[in-house]
Structure 1
């Protein structure tokens, strides 16, 4: 009872500990990976890989506040976890009782289950367990989640938990052994294997960077009376789910940042015997989408051969759709029962190429009686932080909205724009370096602060901000460039990887604009006036530098080439995800230096930033 643990890779590690109780613990500032993703671009090195743990990979690679393995009947209650990567990890545990815990504001998983079954998980807070997010720029999640469930976790009950603002609210996967991607024991039968027969009731899975609830390659799960609001991609993603019952849930405004046709309320690929009933959909990008597609790789796996993966025998019953562009969308599905659904302000009620069956529907499924442990009521307790805009990432994880923080949020008229955040009022802010400050009067956060060059002379200006409040002091360093970049954007039809000269010639008539800094977070949109794909960027600047060593910090997606005084200092002329790179050069005496940048975008996400700084 009451452990206080700080500064360890794993706070408590218990093995073969039947009947263990850990109550009223405080776990703070234990292990966390330093994140490389920035507000401008994701870094692929930050992705988590939870798919293997039979050899304690989670323990070795990711750490935890509490790690319990090979145990029965453990009871974990009223523990608080902050400022780390992971909260509670259960590996091959039976009949656990997890209640009244708060493992929030973490950069990995609040609760993670591996081969853990028949457990009762109620009235916990697993909020803001997230990485891989920059509001309005990218929404990846990078396999972080409030609750994670991998590899044949069955017959668990998850009730009245708050799991908001995660990478996913809940992330479940049947498992590599279940699918046959790795060998099981002799005679292993892949029929009906997965994370099966779990019950989700009364939880809040809202404001996720990706999905409110993702549960794939599994059978017999019930999702009832939960809340799915403003998840970036969709409320529920249920690829290859079977015997899946989704009833009486609230879906609202999901899918703002979907990926192609994957968006909206409920998306189930290869749905079979899925029953969607008595849910409400309000303002989602699409209400319900069920489909089949050819997936030769998965079709060859033992799981797919053992379980019929046709999209068939599904039911969509007595739901209410309001202000969704498409209510029901079906592709390559057969035998879909559609009855009693109501539509209000829905331009396309049904988009179903194979038609629907309208028959007498079976009666609603009666709710399951469950035991609820815990005295706390976490659902709705953080209503003041509603919305994904409150996911603010630092290099060590999500901001907790308590400690003072200086957050750089962009640029305006050549100035850096900062926000002071925290629970206490801003008392004072000062800057060191060749800059001037403009700010609102001291007061309740957020407080906007502008940092401008103190002169009009182009160059590299390094400065530090120091802000103080009753909660303490926070510092931030930054570089304010004034390089007068001449930037041209253009559409191209000639592939720059095959004909650079022809590609470059297509920029001949492109208009130019002048930017003080080259920080082009195109995202999924592209430059103004151009399509989001197949465009190029040419930029050049001339700046007088003092003698010394300099570095160009470069982020690109896709191809990029950078020259200093005509010499190539960095080149990655390929189709690639966002990459960070550095290019060093030396200036022997004070003189003008010419910088040139070429960039092309093929498709998808795009970013180009080049920042000059002293090394």
Structure 2
């Protein structure tokens, strides 16, 4: 009897162990640790992991390599840098995926790194439902009054991964047949960046509100980019002040990227909505280009520069919305390009093409543009690059048919162009206005006026079929739209996900008009410094608020407010639940500088690098010119003239300040060299032209404590004629 009892116990325990082992195999998730290498399918334990980013982008706390691997991160958060209010200090890569096949990442959050996820040499890579927001982005030096040229980017080369200096949410090289969908990258500098990546599918992602690029492609072909939200990827813009975009774009296509399809995406409010350039290879050899790309049924409206820019290439732009931009289409040196069935409205110039050839502009709708179609060439343009030497770049052979023009200030502006066929175009809301001169040859002008009935040729429309479920990526009717809603902060475009008091204007009496914008909710005033007489002490979003600046020379305003309403995502990605209090500020700081600037000229005997002692004698001698004013860059810009060349020139500027105690960010952007002194002590130096490789290299800044009266002295010297001198001094706040 005892024997049978023991056998039963053994059987019972064995069953329990087997059940426990089986159950654990089904449900157990692993915990990540720094240095882990994942080479098989696994589920990750859902928690927050803090792994500080490495100095090198080639090192990562998590590495994935092998074949046929699925890693479900199960909502886990991989967090790099903890100083989240200084994303320009983020470094390292969160996850590196090494060469392999059929690797899938799902349901992960990576933030606080220079690069969120980097993959190289992976075939059939899948990245699904990830969030790679709040990774690296540069601090912007441009402000609402002044564009700083050091903020310009350049994406023209990436053979050696030069793009990595801007970071990325996702960075891919040599990854063919990838599937990237359901992902989010916001409030970084670059979203998805790809080099040598072919036959991929990128859809249903949100790459919006970044300070550089939404999607970037370099030497990448046969990809389908569909149904993506790519709005507000922008920098270099201040409403009504400057609008050059500084090489930002919703979609960037560079260097021999061909046969791609871009359809049903929204890339509005970006520097360029769509920015395509053939590449340096074509510039040097005249061969290749970014050709045969289809740009279909997208919205590229409200671009500070060009809704669509396509240059030195052959493409199709069909059925897109192109509203309220500098140019609807800028098509310099485009050839065999079709621009058909697009909706142009409110642009400074709807279509502008220099040196274009064999292009069709048909079945488009134009309304309320200042200029409809502009075609021209410069016969005297020097052929100083390979493309111009090897290609026929005359402006010629255009078909302009079946378009409608309504309320256009000037419909045609054409010169130095031949062989143009204009026919069957409807003109309404005004007379046919055109600017043509004797340089226009062989133009056929037929059936264009207010009695014409254009017809549609369906052959322009492509037949696209994809085995995916695409979402509606377009902005909702209720979402703010228009270039006035490109509202730049120190770190990038405002996202509408948190409350903000945005200055509309300050009148001559010092009255400040604020727009209260953000999620629906209520605000109340907690504290006010440097201003008085608020028009209200509480209110709702959206709303208005006015205050009166105190009658002091120094502007030092800080209005602290509390918001309660919808859920909030702060400027640095911190989430607040619906109804939770959220503190925000309106701040304005302006020192009443009284600069005195002196100009000096140096030569080989007083070269600032080779003969510093002699150079110092020069800048402490009698200047060739003296000027005074409150804004340093304006004095500098107006200083050059007949007696002062832009080359081999130096300036010395001085001003007295009186500031409240605190930490201040002092920055200088200069061509080519600069030194900043406070009370005779050198605190900031950028005095080596050999290190000036990229635009950002022309800027240096430092945080330093200051209080009371001080003397600021800036020494600047330049060999060339680049011409830039911007100085910024702002308090460092703990939170925005």
TM-score of the pair, normalised by structure 2:
0.64
Selected match of 2:133 from 28, 31, 34: 28
Tell me if 1:17 matches 2:122: yes
Structure 1 residue 275: deviation in Å?
0.6
CA contact (8 A) 1:322 1:346 kept: no
1:82-129 Cα shifts (integer Å, max 9, x gaps): 111111111101101011111100001110001110111111110000
Tell me if 1:475 matches 2:604: no
Distance (whole Å) between structure 1 residues aligned to residue 659 and residue 477 of structure 2: 50
Structure 1 residue 312: deviation in Å?
1.1
Selected match of 1:178 from 278, 282, 296: 282
Written as runs of structure 1 = structure 2, the 5 A alignment for 1:57-72 is 57-58=162-163, 60-72=164-176
1:569-608 Cα shifts (integer Å, max 9, x gaps): xxxxxxxx9x9999xxxx99999x9xxxxxxxxxxx9999
Query: Which 5+ residue runs of structure 2 have no aligned equivalent?
Result: 1-105, 448-454, 569-581, 595-622, 639-654, 672-694, 712-722
Written as runs of structure 1 = structure 2, the 5 A alignment for 1:54-133 is 54-58=159-163, 60-133=164-237
Counterpart in the other structure of 1:368 = 462
Change over 3 Å in CA distance of 1:439–1:336 after alignment to 2: same
Tell me if 1:234 matches 2:327: yes
Counterpart in the other structure of 1:391 = 486
CA contact (8 A) 1:227 1:250 kept: yes
Counterpart in the other structure of 2:529 = 433
Distance (whole Å) between structure 1 residues aligned to residue 219 and residue 730 of structure 2: 49
Distance (whole Å) between structure 2 residues aligned to residue 356 and residue 381 of structure 1: 46
Structure 1 residue 287: deviation in Å?
0.4
SS in 2 for 1:94: coil
CA contact (8 A) 2:274 2:300 kept: yes
SS in 2 for 1:8: coil
1:496-555 Cα shifts (integer Å, max 9, x gaps): xxxx99999xx9xxxxxxxxx967999xxx9xxxxxxxxxxxxxx999999999999999
Selected match of 1:406 from 487, 490, 501: 501
Distance (whole Å) between structure 2 residues aligned to residue 369 and residue 554 of structure 1: 53
1:164-186 Cα shifts (integer Å, max 9, x gaps): 000000001000012118xxxxx
Change over 3 Å in CA distance of 1:315–1:308 after alignment to 2: same
Selected match of 2:300 from 196, 200, 205: 205
Distance (whole Å) between structure 2 residues aligned to residue 206 and residue 146 of structure 1: 11
CA contact (8 A) 1:459 1:543 kept: no
State the structure with more CA Rg. Answer: 2
Counterpart in the other structure of 1:567 = none
SS in 2 for 1:71: coil
Tell me if 1:419 matches 2:515: yes
Structure 1 residue 609: deviation in Å?
9.9
Larger RCO (alpha carbons 8 Å, 6+ apart): 1
Selected match of 1:265 from 333, 346, 350: 350
TM-score of the pair, normalised by structure 1:
0.76
Change over 3 Å in CA distance of 1:608–1:360 after alignment to 2: same
Distance (whole Å) between structure 1 residues aligned to residue 709 and residue 251 of structure 2: 56
Counterpart in the other structure of 2:346 = 253
Selected match of 1:318 from 402, 408, 421: 402
Counterpart in the other structure of 2:262 = 158
Counterpart in the other structure of 1:301 = 385
Distance (whole Å) between structure 1 residues aligned to residue 670 and residue 241 of structure 2: 14
Counterpart in the other structure of 1:49 = 154
CA contact (8 A) 1:431 1:463 kept: no
1:330-359 Cα shifts (integer Å, max 9, x gaps): 110011111112222146145353145327
CA contact (8 A) 1:122 1:374 kept: no
Distance (whole Å) between structure 1 residues aligned to residue 700 and residue 442 of structure 2: 53
Tell me if 1:343 matches 2:422: no
CA contact (8 A) 1:206 1:229 kept: yes
Counterpart in the other structure of 1:244 = 337
Distance (whole Å) between structure 2 residues aligned to residue 250 and residue 212 of structure 1: 11
Distance (whole Å) between structure 2 residues aligned to residue 547 and residue 350 of structure 1: 61
CA contact (8 A) 1:65 1:81 kept: yes
SS in 1 for 2:190: coil
